[in-house]
Amino acid sequence: MQEGYGMKIALALGSGGARGYAHIGVIRELEARGHEVVGVSGASMGAVVGSLFAAGKLDHFEEWVRGLSQRDVLRLLDVSFAGGGAIRANKVMAVIGSMLDEVHIEDMRIPFTAVATDLRARREVWFTRGPADVAVRASFAIPSVITPALVGGRLIIDGGVTNPVPLEPLAPVESDLLLAVSLTGRRSGTRATAFEGAEAEENSADADAKSSRKGASGMIRPAGKLTGRIRTAAADVRDAELVRFIAARWGQGGAEGIAGEDDNGAVMLDPGDGAGAAVTESTEASEGVEESVAKGEANVESDDHGDESLPGTLRIFDVVVHSIEVMESIITAYRMAANRPDVLIEVPTDACTAFDFQRADEMIALGRRLTADALDRAGL
């Protein structure tokens, strides 16, 4: 391995929501040290940052995210009560798509691969050519959070489900060093998590469960109402302010239909030439994918003992997010056991939540600091 400055770097950027802002810091530190990135692969947020970098648009993206407030983030959410996810992500993709400016992956200045997951076929897929915005939207469809995408008749979700830190697409890239960035590193303990306020004693948990099932009259809620609460809980994106925001949006006219959705609510990507986006399966080709996802029903009702009054308790969405993080960290460990990068940068999962998209400044700074430390340890 060549030592010193001016090395050629193959860069694998992992999934992890807002922690993915750290990828920007990683790239900035590599550039500051005179290294050249000669190949990029990414899953989910890694695909977002990687595509914009490979297309030469990262400066524009960084400027935009550094200026986002929490209110700006809330305004970007377009709530969906059907289609397999709580958010359609059309508003976010409108911004990212305008930055990518209809560029195709094969025309990017740096070789780039976006990794996603074919849900029905249970296969990892690689986007190596075709519209970059189509590949990016497919790669960050976080299960239960962002609606799946239909590409070429395939139901596509987040790449982190099968390959959270995609090293394999970089195998053909001629480089001096393979650098990987994982966003599911061991917790640093510097930030409170949703688990810290939860009661651990069984008796208390049972009492809370019974209390949450009772209405104002003290009667047990019917199973149908509980089912409605579970279905609408997908809209509980992390904090009480966002819950109120979603409820207000629903109350002011309901969930509005959008162009680009199929009859079942799944997002149809690039109905023109989007089907031409290259989807390369990392394993043997499988049979076709059903073009629909079961339509969910949403029944909005108030909770007399609302979760907002219990800020320390664990909510359904917390379970979804933490479950995904556990899954991704385990998959990453197994895959890296067989394919180790030369340098691994790990961003702690408690650096911020997956939805703290208003915290770009500190996450970019964290990514740069972690990269500097890792490169110093490696003598680079």
| 60/57 Cα distance (integer angstroms) | 6
What would the two tokens of residue 296 be?
A: 């969910």
Q: Which of 41, 44, 80, 182 is catalytic?
A: 44
Residue 104 pairs with which residues in a beta bridge?
A: 131
* Residues 124, 115 contacting (CB under 8 angstroms): yes
**Comparing C-alpha atoms, which of 247, 194, 236, 225 is closest to residue 86?**
236
SS3 category, 304? coil
Helix axes 132-139, 90-100, angle to 10 degrees: 140
| Tokens coding 145 | 């959070």
Is 158 among the residues known to form the active site? yes
Residues 6+ apart with CB under 8 A from 207: none
Active site residue 44: yes
The strand pairing partners of 220, in sequence order, are 214
Which residue among 78, 118, 133, 158 is the active-site one?
158
Nearest CA-CA partner of 267 in 162, 357, 136: 136
Containing 11, the helix (H) or strand (E) segment is strand 8-13
Residues annotated as part of the active site: 44, 158
